[in-house]
Copies of this chain bind each other. A is one copy, B any other.
Amino acid sequence: MNLPVPSLDPAISSRLRHTAEGLVPVVVQQHGSGEVLMLAWVDDEALARTLATGRATYWSRSRREYWVKGETSGHTQEVKEVRLDCDGDTLLFVVDQVDGACHTGDRTCFDADLVHRFDG
């Protein structure tokens, strides 16, 4: 069965400033706690799929395919809010993350590697 592919509202698409590859970075943040979970990328179709389903859906730049977060791991992201920044070139997804966001099992993709902490 072929499901219809959702298309992005042109009024939203026209407000996005895409990269040359047609992508927009997405900061993904846990609802409530404010944790920054990860950075991912969407094209218009991934954003349309996210808006249609409420499940965070990204474009994998390495695999060159759509990727419903948690589809294989079960570590899904239920999207609460989608926000766009002041110059239209970055999205913010506020989500409810099931278990860890990181493929390593960590809660966030930024947990493991502290480059520098300033004193005071």
Contacts and interface: CB of A to CB of B under 8 A. Distances in A.
A62 to B, nearest CB: 9
Contact of A116 (B82, B85, B106): B82
What number of copies of this chain does the assembly contain? 2
B90 A113 contact: no
Given A27-B39, A82-B114, 10 more contacts: A34-B35, A39-B89, A79-B118, A81-B118, A83-B114, A84-B113, A85-B110, A86-B106, A86-B112, A86-B113
Interface of A: 12, 15, 25, 27, 29, 33-36, 38-39, 51, 54, 78-87, 89-92, 102-104, 106, 109-110, 112-118
Top 6 A-B residue pairs of the complex, sorted by shortest distance between their CB atoms: A34-B34, A85-B109, A39-B90, A82-B115, A84-B113, A83-B110
15 contacts: A15-B113, A33-B34, A34-B36, A38-B85, A51-B115, A80-B118, A81-B114, A81-B116, A84-B110, A84-B115, A86-B102, A86-B103, A86-B112, A90-B109, A90-B110
